[in-house]
Amino acid sequence: MEILMMLGLLVVTLGFGWIAGKLGFAKVVGQLIAGVVVGPALLGLVEPSHLMHVVSEFGVMLLMVNAGLETDARQLLQNFKASNLVALMGVVAPLAVFPVVALLFGYEWQIALFWGVVFAATSISITISVLGEQGKLGTVMGAVVLGAAVLDDILALLLVTAYAAFIGGSGLGLNTVMPIIAFAIGVLLRQLPKSDKLLHTTELFGEWTVFPIFFGSIGLNVVFHNLAETWWIMILLTSLAVATKYYGAGFGARMARLDKYTSNAIGAGMVSRGEMALVIAQIGATGHILSNQVFGEMVIVIIASTIIAPLMMRPLIAKVK
């Protein structure tokens, strides 16, 4: 029965992902929504299971290996100063703002701090997709954004590790270390002669199997029990998710002496949270830091920022000369 439910989830998430892509959104958005629709939050057709959890964990590991395989160390070094400033300011802003606002809304300080950690991350894949579509991947702006996104994700993983070391959480240690190890393995594998072919193979396998199950299973854990009372908080937190990255990373780009239009486009390119934020939120959920309610709220804000980011990027990138 567990296998049939998982296969059913896979089919539905692939379908929703395809529809999202056709509508101009990231596939991950459709796959997350698919999990919410068929899960306990709405239709109740699919329940989370142990098998699904195991497959999802493998999906996280493969996702992190792929992130490492996509990390070009030479490109990072060529634009390191600008990328470093963009990444640093893009991490500092949400890490400073989110915990304060979350505390004002009554979250416990440990959870308030974790909000900041989750939204310090940036989605590389969605940024790459929009930059490629606009023909800007090979430009200085493209290199800075990609470098900053990679550094952002490394910093976010280090923040989770620091959180585990100083604040803790039941079962958090191993869940924190494994994604970092998987990322490091990916970086090492990139040095192999046929790393591009390996990346293509792992991406193809993941996109048709474990990635949709991972994102769909996250949707299964979303609950709407108190959403009627907290919807305005979700809107505010989504606004913060957008603003802290846009202005934080954009300010970092101006510090690197990039022009206004390029800085604005870079700021927009850092807004999307996507996969890495979901991985970190999942670490918090499995480490028993986050309740299902708080986890669901985080997923809603992540989905919203992932939808908004490409809509911001396209017009701003068009202004870059």
Per-residue pLDDT of the chain (321 residues; tens, 9 = 90+): 788 999 999 999 999 999 988 887 778 888 988 998 998 888 989 988 889 989 988 988 898 788 778 777 776 677 888 999 999 999 999 999 999 999 998 888 989 999 999 999 887 767 776 776 677 766 778 888 878 888 887 888 888 888 877 776 554 555 556 777 887 898 889 888 888 899 899 989 999 999 999 889 888 877 777 666 778 888 999 999 999 999 999 999 999 999 999 999 999 989 988 778 888 888 888 778 888 888 888 888 988 888 888 888 888 888 887
3-state SS string for the chain: CHHHHHHHHHHHHHHHHHHHHHCCCCHHHHHHHHHHHHCCCCCCCCCCCHHHHHHHHHHHHHHHHHHHHCCCHHHHHHCHHHHHHHHHHHHHHHHHHHHHHHHHCCCCHHHHHHHHHHCCCCCHHHHHHHHHHCCCCCCHHHHHHHHHHHHHHHHHHHHHHHHHHHCCCCCHHHHHHHHHHHHHHHHHHCCCCCHHHHHHHHHHHHHHCHHHHHHHHHHHCCCCCCHHHHHHHHHHHHHHHHHHHHHHHHHHHHHCCCCHHHHHHHHHHCCCCHHHHHHHHHHHHHCCCCCHHHHHHHHHHHHHHHHHHHHHHHHHHHCCC
